[in-house]
Amino acid sequence: EACRIRAVAQPELYRDAGLIGTSQIIASENDELGWKKLYAGLPSLMIRQVIFGSIKFLAFERASEAIFSIHPEFREATVTALGVSLVAGGISGALSSVVSQPADSVLTYVAKDSGGNLGVFDGASKMIREGGVKSLFNGLGSRCVWAGCIIAGQFLLYDVFRAAFGITGEDLNQALTLTLDLNK
């Protein structure tokens, strides 16, 4: 993630170095930290991913349920059910972005602006002192659009394949139950 952020933030410096070269450059910038500098943003990345993933699935389920409760006839045709997946996926991607944006902003700040010398909480405190709480939400609009489109596509493809193979929610529950029973 540190390499990706550097390549995006300073493409003229890092693009030609590639992944390995960028990793080596970052690791050599501070003799005391070395390779640890590559992982300075890891706690923020993990927090962001857990929050994003949790909200993504929760919001998708709730949005789908809400749409189907208003229009139960949408369940009857595959095309309308897939349309619900697309809309609910877009909603879940945008909502996930709103909730996880502060962690993403801190991750970017810690990895890029502080040179990897700050922890998650110190980075967040410094960001808020310098730019106010709004600095945690910089770039939120474009991230909502991007994530809404990507997540909508993911859920659409998931439901397309479920429909193509005739897999129902009950089938998935049975597979989970079987897996849990095997682990006992």
Q: What is the pTM of this model?
A: 0.71
pLDDT in tens, the chain (184 residues): 666 666 666 777 776 777 777 777 766 766 665 566 566 667 767 887 888 889 999 999 999 999 999 999 999 998 999 999 999 999 999 999 999 898 888 877 776 665 556 777 888 898 899 999 999 998 899 999 999 999 999 999 999 998 888 887 777 667 667 677 776 6
DSSP state of 118: S
| Direct distance between the N- and C-terminal alpha carbons of the chain, in angstroms, rounded to an integer | 37
Maximal C-alpha separation, the chain: 64
Helices (H), the chain: 2-9, 11-14, 18-28, 42-70, 78-108, 120-131, 140-165, 169-182
